[in-house]
Amino acid sequence: MSTLNYRPCIGWSAVILSVLILAAFCIPAVAADDTGGILMPGAKNFDLILSDGLTKYFKFEGGGLNALHISTDPGDPYGQVTTTEEQSGVFYLTNTGGRGFDDDMILMIAVNGTIPDDFAVHIRASGYRWTPTPLLNQPPAADEIEYIDGSYEGTITKSDFVYRPQTWKPAGNNAPGNYSIYYGQDMSDTSNTFHTIFVDLNAGTIGENSMIPDLIDSGSMKIEFEFENLETFAAFNSYGWCNQSNQGQGISWTNAVSGPGSSGYAVVGTAPSGGDTAPGGSGGDGGGSATSGYAGEEISPGISDTFNGTLAYLPVAGAPAALEPGSTASLTVPVAGVNGTVRNAIMYLFVSGSHYKDTSSGVDPALEFMVNGRSVTPVRTLTGREGGTDGPVSVTYAVDLGGMIAGSGDLAVTVRDRGRAGALCTLSGGVLLLAVENPDAPSISYEVAEVCDAVAVDTGAGVYEEDAQTVVFFSGPPDMNRISESRLVVFGTGDGERDGTQDRIILSEREWTGAFNRSGMLWSASLEAGSYLFPGENEVSVGTGAAASSGGALVNRIIVLEYSGGPVERGEVGVTPSAFRITKTFLIDNPVVSRVVLSLPAGGTAVWVTAADRADALTAPAPGTVVYRYVEFDLDGAAAASTPATITFRVPEEWLTEMGFGPETIVLLRFADGQWSPLSTRVMTVGDGYAGYAAESDGLSLFAVAARTTPDPTPSPAIIDEAVSPVSTAPRQSPLLPLLPLIAALVGFILTRRE
């Protein structure tokens, strides 16, 4: 009798299952001495794996580097860069953002090089916890927070690091894939990698802008740590998650470790071996070379005022004009009818590229100024270098023209160069800031930051895009009920051929790219700001990603925040207080609707408005036209049906093009009294991928963003009812993880079967 040797029969089902498992998890092979094999998918918009195996959404679509800090003293919330050889210690995660809070904090731990098998770090965190509010940018109340001593306590070991080693930390659009892990890191050294882990601390931070007094550690989160067998060094970073913000729901903030406002905490190991021996020990300072001249400054406004009247920016005509010793330039400032009393009149003149012709080294210009034949002297002169210590000099002159402006007529401005022989410069532009007081006009407040700050990317000097920005800390609006018409106004100068598409302006958590308009060498932007203001400090940054080597430098000159909107402060004769109404602005965290301005009786109860996307018209009949979105409003504290409202919303240009509509075809429909009615809808903006609109309504209920006409036949359905799926707030595991044991058992069974 013969004996047959059976071999396991691996059928197609087993092969398919194996392929499915590999495809589902896509875990690449790693070196035997390495730790972690999951490739971080990018710098934004992904599910971040936390140390407990759960995930949180990492959104981070812009900005996000100004609000969070790491400090050794909770009384110093802006923090500092700390490097220590102590293997245990305490530091604090702080919040200075205008919103004033983050609902949850995540601690990033990065360990350089190979992690020893007996490595461990013990972490204990303490801070405030609360139930996240469903209202946009609304901090918790004092009676809603609880201090948790030990919100997180745990030990991280080598096996907990799941991500593949990398040289950068995720920071959204801030140098994606190239943002430093610690201050002073040499980002050109791609071999100096780190293992990273993200720890959910189960509590949040509360800053001074939350307006809650007497908080433990000033509302910051206390971190206690102790390392065991750290052989290289480690760096800590702070991340913030928020339930409702202008950025949407998710993780969108981290501490800056490069450029102005940097803070961080790093620990040098007990037995360094390989890699850098200390953060900042090689490869530059991470904040730009001290001699670069293209790294931005941090400043505060020098002028602020509140009055009834108007604020205007009048351009200086006749620039650019080249100057050399003995030459003159004739400029004019057209001034229209002044309806009121001139309260403030500051003429800003901008000079660029002052240098010696033969050596190209910079030199301070020597200029004289005359206005209408009268000699004037600048009240402030701000200078800066365009490049290194010998780079060309730029200057911002502030000339007070108070008492010289009345009625209408042009101002004749003469500029004479009295400089040294061989010196050249260019009068690159100017603007007259004119504040006119009129008691019958609405109230306006404003803050002006005067600066002369050249910014550009200069990689040779260690200046990257995150460094090339001017940061201004504004005090914020005096009354949040008077911000509906607020504006951010920026003036700068630069080469007329420079690439302005890489410029960016950030207010709090709103970022505009390519927003400047150019006239000669003058670059200016006027942006709607009311939707992005906070009641406390507001940060503005103006920067560029353009390279200095290609003439991309932008010299920031004046940055202004205007706060206005709402009723005239003086009550009208014959109007009783009970009939007096105010306007109140609500910022809406919604993909379509961004803001609602309500007209409310003065002195009423607290009012809140929210908006929710709906998949269809609910119990109402469909409006019979093409619908982009349905939105339903909920109003607490006032009668929704009879509260007048101005609703600001937007529609993607991509959708308009796909459907064959022009921006002017969009209308907001309201369902009330059993029928759909079109509202007065006007186009406000077109650009940045969206068409923006404002519509007037007599009340709040169910609305439809729709088209006025039916488009030409397309493959799309006649009526489009799209619902926006909500972003999950809860940590979540991969849906395949619970099935792993079952899949593994099934594959094993198939592989071991014998025919």
pLDDT in tens, 617-646: 888 999 989 999 999 988 876 676 678 888
CB 184 within 8 A of CB 233: no
CB 242 within 8 A of CB 249: yes
Tell me: cis bond preceding 320? Omega within 30 of 0 counts: yes
Report CA Rg, the chain. 30
- How far is residue 749's CA from residue 109's CA, in Å, rounded to a whole number? 41
Question: Which tokens go with 287?
Answer: 């904040």
252 has pLDDT over 60 = yes
| pLDDT, tens only, 75-100 | 999 999 999 989 999 999 999 988 89
Top-confidence residue, 300 or 750: 300
pLDDT at 292: 61
In what helix (H) or strand (E) does residue 427 lie, and over which residues does it extend? strand 423-437
Asked if residue 451 and residue 360 are part of one domain, the reply reads yes
Asked if residue 619 and residue 678 are part of one domain, the reply reads yes
pLDDT at 641: 66
pLDDT at 656: 93
Asked if residue 430 and residue 486 are part of one domain, the reply reads yes
pLDDT at 282: 34
Question: Which tokens go with 424?
Answer: 């050249």
In what helix (H) or strand (E) does residue 59 lie, and over which residues does it extend? none
Q: In what order do the strands lie in the sheet with 581-587?
A: 581-587, 593-601, 645-652, 690-697, 680-687
Asked if residue 680 and residue 532 are part of one domain, the reply reads no
CB 95 within 8 A of CB 219: yes
Specify the DSSP class assigned to residue 713: P
- How far is residue 272's CA from residue 109's CA, in Å, rounded to a whole number? 18
Residue positions counted in the chain: 755
35 has pLDDT over 50 = yes
Asked if residue 372 and residue 244 are part of one domain, the reply reads no
Average pLDDT over residues 400-411: 82
Q: Is 461 left (phi over 0), alpha (psi -120 to 50) or beta?
A: alpha
Task: Name the band, by pLDDT with cuts 50, 70 and 90, for residue 177.
Answer: confident
24 has pLDDT over 60 = no
| pLDDT, tens only, 370-386 | 999 999 999 999 999 88
pLDDT at 600: 67
pLDDT at 374: 93
748 has pLDDT over 60 = no
Asked if residue 372 and residue 261 are part of one domain, the reply reads no
Top-confidence residue, 1 or 593: 593
Ranges 284-298, 405-419, 457-471: which has the least confidence: 284-298
Query: Of 564, 595, 616, which residue sits at a domain end?
Result: 564
- How far is residue 671's CA from residue 676's CA, in Å, rounded to a whole number? 4
Task: Name the band, by pLDDT with cuts 50, 70 and 90, for residue 271.
Answer: low
Asked if residue 437 and residue 379 are part of one domain, the reply reads yes
Amino acid (one-letter) located at 654: E
Residue 675 resides in a domain: yes
Query: Of 512, 532, 564, which residue sits at a domain end?
Result: 564
| pLDDT, tens only, 680-701 | 998 887 877 889 898 999 889 9
Residue 729 resides in a domain: no
Q: Is 269 helix (H, G, I), strand (E, B) or coil?
A: coil
Task: Give me the percent of the chain exceeding a pLDDT of 70.
Answer: 81
Domain of 82 in residue numbering reads as 34-268
Specify the DSSP class assigned to residue 22: H
CA distances from 630 to 147, 282, 307, 615, 652 (A): 40, 56, 41, 7, 15
Burial of 474-485, coded b for 16+ CB within 10 Å and e otherwise, reads bebbeeeebbbb
Residue 285 resides in a domain: no
CA 552, chain centre distance (Å)? 22
Q: Is 5 helix (H, G, I), strand (E, B) or coil?
A: coil
Query: Of 247, 268, 289, which residue sits at a domain end?
Result: 268
pLDDT at 93: 98
Tell me: cis bond preceding 365? Omega within 30 of 0 counts: no
CA distances from 186 to 192, 265, 321, 455, 561 (A): 9, 17, 42, 21, 36
Ranges 2-6, 85-89, 439-443: which has the least confidence: 2-6
pLDDT at 410: 87
712 has pLDDT over 90 = no
Class of residue 416 by CB neighbours under 10 A (exposed 0-12, middle 13-18, buried 19+)? middle
Amino acid (one-letter) located at 238: S
Asked if residue 531 and residue 590 are part of one domain, the reply reads no
Which residues, including other chains, have CB under 8 Å from residue 405's CB and lie 6 or more apart? Answer: 335, 338, 342, 345, 411, 434
Q: Which of 464, 453, 476 is nearest to 540 (CA)?
A: 476
Residue whose entry in the numeric block shows the structure tokens 């000099």: 393
Asked if residue 53 and residue 22 are part of one domain, the reply reads no
pLDDT at 565: 86
In what helix (H) or strand (E) does residue 515 lie, and over which residues does it extend? none
Specify the DSSP class assigned to residue 710: P
Q: Which of 630, 588, 603 is nearest to 720 (CA)?
A: 630
Mean of pLDDT over the chain: 82
Most confident region among 235-249, 575-589, 629-643 by mean pLDDT = 235-249
The values of phi and psi at residue 350, to 5°, are -115, 125
pLDDT at 240: 97
Question: Which tokens go with 464?
Answer: 């990257």
Ranges 17-31, 192-206, 720-734: which has the least confidence: 720-734
CATH of the domain at 625: 2.60.220
In what helix (H) or strand (E) does residue 14 lie, and over which residues does it extend? helix 12-25
CA 85, chain centre distance (Å)? 34
Residue 637 resides in a domain: yes
Average pLDDT over residues 21-36: 44
Average pLDDT over residues 414-433: 94
Look at the chain and report how many structural domains it folds into: 4
pLDDT at 585: 61
Average pLDDT over residues 553-560: 97
| pLDDT, tens only, 653-682 | 999 999 999 999 999 999 999 999 999 998
pLDDT at 25: 40
Average pLDDT over residues 99-116: 94
Burial of 493-518, coded b for 16+ CB within 10 Å and e otherwise, reads bbbeebbbebbbbbbbbbbbbebbeb
Q: Is 160 helix (H, G, I), strand (E, B) or coil?
A: helix
pLDDT at 335: 87
Average pLDDT over residues 487-509: 90
pLDDT at 32: 39
Residue 516 resides in a domain: yes
Average pLDDT over residues 520-537: 88
CA 283, chain centre distance (Å)? 28
Residue 492 resides in a domain: yes
Which residues, including other chains, have CB under 8 Å from residue 589's CB and lie 6 or more apart? Answer: 136, 244, 245, 246, 248, 249
Task: Give this prediction's pTM.
Answer: 0.49
Question: Which tokens go with 478?
Answer: 């005096």
Ranges 491-500, 573-582, 718-727: which has the least confidence: 718-727
363 has pLDDT over 50 = yes
Question: Which tokens go with 465?
Answer: 């895009």
pLDDT at 449: 94
Specify the DSSP class assigned to residue 20: H
Maximum pairwise Cα distance, the chain: 124
Residue 173 resides in a domain: yes
Task: Name the band, by pLDDT with cuts 50, 70 and 90, for residue 10.
Answer: very low
pLDDT at 352: 96
CA dihedral of residues 501, 503, 506, 511 (deg, nearest 10): 20
pLDDT at 308: 93
In what helix (H) or strand (E) does residue 193 lie, and over which residues does it extend? none
pLDDT at 351: 97
Q: What angle do CA 483, 488, 491 make, to 5 degrees?
A: 160
Asked if residue 39 and residue 25 are part of one domain, the reply reads no
50 has pLDDT over 70 = yes
Asked if residue 443 and residue 320 are part of one domain, the reply reads yes
CB 426 within 8 A of CB 352: yes
Residue 695 resides in a domain: yes
Average pLDDT over residues 429-447: 93
Asked if residue 618 and residue 548 are part of one domain, the reply reads no
In what helix (H) or strand (E) does residue 25 lie, and over which residues does it extend? helix 12-25
CATH of the domain at 381: 2.60.120.1200
Q: Which of 356, 355, 381, 357 is nearest to 368 (CA)?
A: 381
pLDDT at 497: 87
285 has pLDDT over 50 = no
Average pLDDT over residues 312-330: 94
